[in-house]
């Protein structure tokens, strides 16, 4: 029955996401797009904490060492619906996008190890901006449209093992792949032809993460967990082609290309420095958990031809502070379903590392992100659960000719567990 629920859910999110952009943030204009947080719905509902958290039937995307504690086969799929309000000094507008957050599976290997693997989005590009220049009489003289789509995904595999009674070690390898398309279209009033700069870029690369997780039961039956994850420095290669050509543009958005003015191959790289995540958590088995995470990374280094001008943006150091946890009133309650529900909550403060020069004369402005989240873990059969999460946040600012995003994320995941370790892998015998 749980398998049927899983397949129906997967079909549902496939239908919902077909033909929709997974991102509509103007800040996805820069670099190779807006970075996705590597978190389950459960972790995102707790403000993003998780590097010190381990569970026998929940996956952990932040720390691969947590795989060592898996005791049940677990497969999970997630969905995110983003409702975005974009504000600048002149007004605001709204948009909605839907995306699949992840498709993953994990299972134990013996009594002291576990593995997980799956597919997750890595970055997303999805913006559409219009800039209009007026003449001395205040009439529109030139219109420039910036449009981008695409992004990158990653396939990953993780392994964790308990090297001692209280210490887990884990490793995660990933392969990143994808394609982005960026366009700048410009047309002047009373001029039949306009110009379009089109850049299509293919992105490839690999990455490696190392995780450590120390866990100890204190004398008062409280668990102490200390975790660390290190995403090692890696490089993504970017290859593609850039075109500049003249074209006639119609009001319905269609175009008729004319003459190619410029064409060239492009080649570059995105250097991601070491990313470190540290955290500590306290809790009681199947009752409550509270944790603190701190993540930091030096500035990204982007080389090669990208459509956005290097003078319009840069990267600095990034960091994130997350505080959150969960509470279960009574996990084995027979009289009340709601006493078995997991209640989650958390808060997140983040400096994204993106620096944008919006006013040209004011210099670079740091783009910061704040979010507060809540969630429910609704128990199904055995240890399986349906996870619901909401997050409200603000990103950016309207100062210095920039944009502020007010967002509301609705997150949904189905986490299914098979009692009896790999029983769901085994073929049934017919007597």
Q: Is 320 exposed, middle or buried (0-12, 13-18, 19+ CB in 10 A)?
A: buried
Assigned token pair, 197: 């700069």
**Cα–chain-centroid distance for residue 294?**
17
Largest CA distance in the chain: 89
Q: What does each C-alpha distance from 420 to 2, 74, 159, 425 come to in angstroms?
A: 14, 11, 20, 10
Phi and psi, residue 12, nearest 5° = -60, -50
pLDDT value of residue 253? 67
Which residue's structure tokens are 């609705």?
A: 410
Answer yes or no: is pLDDT of 155 > 70: yes
pLDDT in tens, 307-324: 445 567 889 999 999 999
pLDDT value of residue 102? 93
pLDDT value of residue 274? 97
Nearest Cα residue to 417 out of 77, 128, 58: 58
pLDDT value of residue 94? 86
pTM across the whole model: 0.87
pLDDT value of residue 310? 58
* Mean pLDDT, the chain, whole residue set: 85
- Which of 6-9's residues contact partners 24+ apart within 8 Å by CB, and which partners? 6/75, 6/77, 6/414, 6/416, 9/77, 9/414
pLDDT value of residue 426? 45
Instruction: Write the DSSP string, 210-259.
Output: EEEEEEEE-TTS-EEEEEEEEE--EEEEEEEEEEEEEEEE-TTS-EEEEE
Answer yes or no: is pLDDT of 148 > 80: yes
Residues in CB range of 316: below 8 A, 6 or more apart: 299, 353, 355, 366
* CA gap 177, 280 in Å, rounded: 33
pLDDT in tens, 157-213: 999 999 999 999 999 999 999 999 988 888 887 778 888 888 899 999 999 999 999
Alpha helix segments (H runs only) across 77-231:
none
At residue 309, the 3 state secondary structure works out as coil
| Fold adopted by 2-134+148-177+212-229+272-418 | Porin (2.40.160)
């Amino acid at each position: 029955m749980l398998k049927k629920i899983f397949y129906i859910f997967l079909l549902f999110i496939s239908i919902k996401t077909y033909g929709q952009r997974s991102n509509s943030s103007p800040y996805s204009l820069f670099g190779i797009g807006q970075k996705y947080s590597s978190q389950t719905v459960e972790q995102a509902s707790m403000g993003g904490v998780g590097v010190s958290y381990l569970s026998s039937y929940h996956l952990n995307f932040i720390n691969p060492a947590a795989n060592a504690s898996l005791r049940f086969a677990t497969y999970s799929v997630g969905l995110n619906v983003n409702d975005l309000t974009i504000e600048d000094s002149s007004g605001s507008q709204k948009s909605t996008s839907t995306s699949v957050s992840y498709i993953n599976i994990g299972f134990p290997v013996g009594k002291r190890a576990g593995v997980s693997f799956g597919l997750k989005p890595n970055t997303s590009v999805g913006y559409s901006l219009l800039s209009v220049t007026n003449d001395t009489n205040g009439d529109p003289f030139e219109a420039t449209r910036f449009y981008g789509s695409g992004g990158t995904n990653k396939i990953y595999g993780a392994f964790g093992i308990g090297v001692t009674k209280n210490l887990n070690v884990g490793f995660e390898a990933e392969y990143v792949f994808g394609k982005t398309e960026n366009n700048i279209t410009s047309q002047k009033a009373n001029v039949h032809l306009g110009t379009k700069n089109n850049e299509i870029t293919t992105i490839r690369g690999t990455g490696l993460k190392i995780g450590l997780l120390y866990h100890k039961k204190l004398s008062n039956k409280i668990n102490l967990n200390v975790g660390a994850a290190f995403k090692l420095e890696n490089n993504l290669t970017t290859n593609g082609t850039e075109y500049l050509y003249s074209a006639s543009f119609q009001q319905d958005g269609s175009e008729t290309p004319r003459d190619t003015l410029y064409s060239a191959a492009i080649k570059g790289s995105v250097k991601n420095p070491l990313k470190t995540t540290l955290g500590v958590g306290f809790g009681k088995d199947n009752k409550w958990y509270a944790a603190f995470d701190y993540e930091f990374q030096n500035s990204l280094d982007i080389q090669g031809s990208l459509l956005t001008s290097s003078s319009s943006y840069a990267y600095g150091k990034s960091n994130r502070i997350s505080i959150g946890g969960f509470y279960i009133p009574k996990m084995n309650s027979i009289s009340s379903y709601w006493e078995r529900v997991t209640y989650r909550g958390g808060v997140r403060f983040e400096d994204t590392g993106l620096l944008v020069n919006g006013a040209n004369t004011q210099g670079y402005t740091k783009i910061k992100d704040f979010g507060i989240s809540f969630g429910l873990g609704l128990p199904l059969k055995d240890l399986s659960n349906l996870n619901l999460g909401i997050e409200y946040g603000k990103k950016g600012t309207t100062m210095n000719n920039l944009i502020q995003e007010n967002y509301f994320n609705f997150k949904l995941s189905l986490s299914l567990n098979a009692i009896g370790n790999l029983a769901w892998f085994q073929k049934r015998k017919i007597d």
